[in-house]
Structure 1
Amino acid sequence: MGKYLAALLERDINTLSFAELNSPVIKARIKDIVFVTATDGNHGRGVAWAAEQLGLRAVVYMPKGSSPVRAQNIRRHGAECTITELNYDDTVRLAAKTAREQGWVLLQDTAWQGYEQIPTWIMQAI
């Protein structure tokens, strides 16, 4: 999320502080961003936590059979969290489709052709 926001703001992630991301000037620029992801737990909780820290909206989809406790942990950070009736791969596709249709930002840790940059950043932990 941080690297995405740094790129959007044309800033170096290494010099963009958390305080700056929460400054009124930057908050005004990013306030309408909605992040969406699919997860079976930890990744979604991280997205929810980061969005909460920045006052942004996060939507998290979880596959069928996911732990309700994990979903509740995600919701505790203010994210919308839905356990779908889909398997994991189809839940990822749902998140991607929703991002396209709604103009949201997909923060997925799974890459596929045409969607490599954000997963690379996630894997590099930047």
Structure 2
Amino acid sequence: MTRILLVEDNPENRDMLSRRLLRRGFDVVLAADGGEAVAAAATLPDLILMDLNLPVIDGWEATRRIKADPATASIPIIALTAHAMSGDRKTALEAGCDDYDTKPIDLPRLLGKVQALLPSSQP
């Protein structure tokens, strides 16, 4: 089963998105801040959905730390953010994110990005 690490500090957003992913057959691991995200990445999820505006360590820095560790560097990361300003996508990609999606979440669009980053044998 494909395991996704969902990093989201807003409890309502975290609950809503995790339930939607679970219904589609994903195993979901949760983290509420960037520090938890870096620690949870050590469990080697198949993909990380990373909110960028996080407490403790922001999503940009958490992404940089995950990508700097050889054990976790190959895990695909999709930035999730309400930041839709010009240049935010570029900043997320420069931090090491493999893709970028804006909130509110459009689930079909997000699932398409998830599928594009997962090995073809995974759901």
TM-score (norm. length: structure 1): 0.38
* Structure number with bigger Rg: 1
TM-score (norm. length: structure 2): 0.39
The structure that is helix-richer by fraction is 1
